[in-house]
Chains A and B, each alone.
Chain A
Amino acid sequence: DTAVSQTPKYLVTQMGNDKSIKCEQNLGHDTMYWYKQDSKKFLKIMFSYNNKELIINETVPNRFSPKSPDKAHLNLHINSLELGDSAVYFCASNQQGTEAFFGQGTRLTVV
């Protein structure tokens, strides 16, 4: 039973397209995150939601829009994809004071 699941695992798309990545957690956690991991493996937080409320919005282009329909889901929509958006995107969740659990990642390739 996967704790934090993301779909799709791989996404190849052309520049200018709009795409979405979905994330679901079955851990009952209140907080969910999106992290971006670049080609050098650096993990950078993008967004954090707590109980469907946006808590953290790091300096991310407004082409990226997260949506949390309920506290178990956090989706990421990306408009007008650019080459520089190519990366692995990780969803994570945690309960206050505990460690973060990460999904398997979505490898986005923009061509």
Chain B
Amino acid sequence: QQQVKQSPQSLIVQKGGISIINCAYENTAFDYFPWYQQFPGKGPALLIAIRPDVSEKKEGRFTISFNKSAKQFSLHIMDSQPGDSATYFCAAKKGSGTYKYIFGTGTRLKVLA
């Protein structure tokens, strides 16, 4: 119930292509779904986040699609660039009074030049 399942584990995309990473959750009490980007030797940094009252959120080349009924959400990176090569984590949090983020297992993205 507390897990967030993330796939794929690794992804290789050509420059200019679309990268898609998927996450699924079970706990319907989750109400905040961020995506974090982590470069080697750095801490995770917030990329984009969504709440379940919207089905899509776009920021530049990054889009979250959210399917509440299926309990799934995904990150789309349009026009992927070599600089996007990093590990991406989806996460979920339950309520503003809760202090625990549950992270997915991560996806290592490599964008080929």
Contacts and interface: CB of A to CB of B under 8 A. Distances in A.
A104 B99 contact: no
Contact of A41 (B42, B43, B96, B108): B108
Interface string A4-19: 1000000000000000
Contact of A96 (B36, B45, B89, B97): B97
B100 interface: yes
B43 A48 contact: no
Given A42-B105, A42-B106, A99-B34, A90 B100 contact: no
Nearest to B49: A99
Given A42-B105, A43-B89, A31 B43 contact: no
Nearest to A107: B41
Contacts, number: 52
Interface band, chain A: 20 to 34
| Residues of A contacting B: mostly | strand
Nearest to B44: A102
Which DSSP category, helix, strand, loop or mixed, fits chain B's interface? strand
Contacts of B32: 97
B101 interface: yes
Contacts of A97: 32, 96
Contacts of B103: 42-44
B41 to A, nearest CB: 8
Given A41-B105, A50-B99, 5 more contacts: A43-B103, A48-B100, A102-B44, A103-B43, A104-B42
Interface of B: 32, 34, 36, 38, 41-46, 49, 87, 89, 96-97, 99-101, 103, 105-106, 108
Interface of A: 4, 31, 33, 40-45, 48, 50, 55-56, 90, 92, 96-97, 99-105
Lowest 5 CB-CB distances: which A-B pairs, in order?
Answer: A102-B43, A97-B96, A43-B103, A99-B46, A48-B99
